[in-house]
Amino acid sequence: MTWADSLGYLAALLVLATFSMQTMLPLRVTGIASNCVFIAYGYFTQAWPVVILHLILLPLNSLRLYQMMQLVRKVQEASRGDLSMDWLKPHMTKRPYRAGQVIFRKDDVAEQMFYTLTGRYRLVEIGNEIGPGQVIGELGFLAPENRRTQTFECVEDGELLMISYSDLRQLYFQNPKFGFYFLRLTSERLFRDIKRLEAAQAQSAV
């Protein structure tokens, strides 16, 4: 067996390793390593289709690795800061809403999470006004039955960003760090709402 054959076997082992990975970051790193070894193997054995294939796959894997690392970094920064959800905006779809339009009702099955860009909105049951820059519906993603606990309606024309729970679930399970920091974000928001309710009850009791 020549050293070129050894490169081929090593590249094959790296490909096998990528299929055994359960999370995206190690998968991409191992995939990049296999691309590099396959390129070397193909060059020295003059297997040009192999070289061309992995020259295409190498920048693709590198781009996906960079995007995932950027996502993790932004989530980490958000969890340490003001709980900004800017890191999620590129994965969301913009939708316009008119005044008086109900976006979802209490007890509806929850399927999307929203971010308010412009306009004014209201959580009807508690009379809470929602302005731009707020996340709505993230707790439904974690609820056992995915049921809405409030009715959410548009008070003044505006735009919302929307991401489906299926897309959010893919991001959640593709990377453990994403899942951890998303849970931290939602739990901190929940505790903040609890403190707000406690403060409102204390004021009404005075």
Structural domains of the chain, count: 2
Q: What six digits make up the tokens of 171?
A: 């991001």
Closest CA to 162 of 90, 92, 91: 92
- Beta partners for residue 147, in sequence order: 109
Q: Are 31 and 7 found together in one domain?
A: yes
The residue with greater pLDDT, 3 or 76, is: 3
Q: Are 51 and 115 found together in one domain?
A: no
Q: Are 92 and 74 found together in one domain?
A: no
Mean pLDDT of 43-56: 94
Q: Are 106 and 137 found together in one domain?
A: yes
Tell the residue number behind the tokens 């008070």, with chain if given. 155
CATH of the domain at 180: 2.60.120.10
Which tens digits make up the pLDDT trace of 124-149?
A: 988 889 999 888 888 787 777 888 88
Which tens digits make up the pLDDT trace of 7-37?
A: 889 999 999 998 888 778 888 999 999 999 9
Q: Are 75 and 97 found together in one domain?
A: no
Q: Are 136 and 153 found together in one domain?
A: yes
**Residue 178 confidence (pLDDT):** 67
Which one of 62, 80, 98 terminates a domain? Answer: 80
Which tens digits make up the pLDDT trace of 50-80?
A: 999 999 999 999 998 998 888 777 666 655 6
Report the alpha-carbon distance of residue 10 to residue 15 in Å, rounded: 9
Q: Are 66 and 109 found together in one domain?
A: no
Torsion sign across C-alpha atoms 160, 164, 167, 170? positive
Within 10 Å of residue 29's Cβ, how many Cβ atoms?
14
Which one of 80, 114, 140 terminates a domain? Answer: 80
Q: Are 73 and 91 found together in one domain?
A: no
Q: What is the 3-state secondary structure (H, E, C) of the chain?
A: CCHHHHHHHHHHHHHHHHHHCCCHHHHHHHHHHHHHHHHHHHHHHCCHHHHHHHHHHHHHHHHHHHHHHHHHHHHHHHHHCCCCCHHHHHHCEEEEECCCCEEECCCCECCEEEEECCCEEEECCCCEEECCCCEECCHHHCCCCCECCCCEEEEECEEEEEEEHHHHHHHHHHCHHHHHHHHHHHHHHHHHHHHHHHHHHHHHHC
The angle formed by the CA atoms of residues 133, 138 and 139, to the nearest 5 degrees, is 135
Q: Are 76 and 90 found together in one domain?
A: no
Which tens digits make up the pLDDT trace of 170-204?
A: 877 766 666 766 777 777 777 877 787 787 777 77
Which one of 29, 57, 80 terminates a domain? Answer: 80
**Residue 126 confidence (pLDDT):** 81
pLDDT band at 42; cut points 50, 70, 90: very high
Phi and psi at 92, nearest 5°, equal -110, 160
Q: Are 24 and 76 found together in one domain?
A: yes
Q: Are 31 and 107 found together in one domain?
A: no
Which tens digits make up the pLDDT trace of 85-123?
A: 666 788 899 999 999 999 999 989 999 999 999 999 999
**Residue 134 confidence (pLDDT):** 85
pTM of the model: 0.55
**Residue 206 confidence (pLDDT):** 64
**Residue 177 confidence (pLDDT):** 63
Q: Which residues span the domain enclosing 177?
A: 86-205
Report the alpha-carbon distance of residue 148 to residue 141 in Å, rounded: 10
Q: Are 93 and 137 found together in one domain?
A: yes
Q: Is 25 in contact with 65 (CB distance < 8 Å)?
A: yes
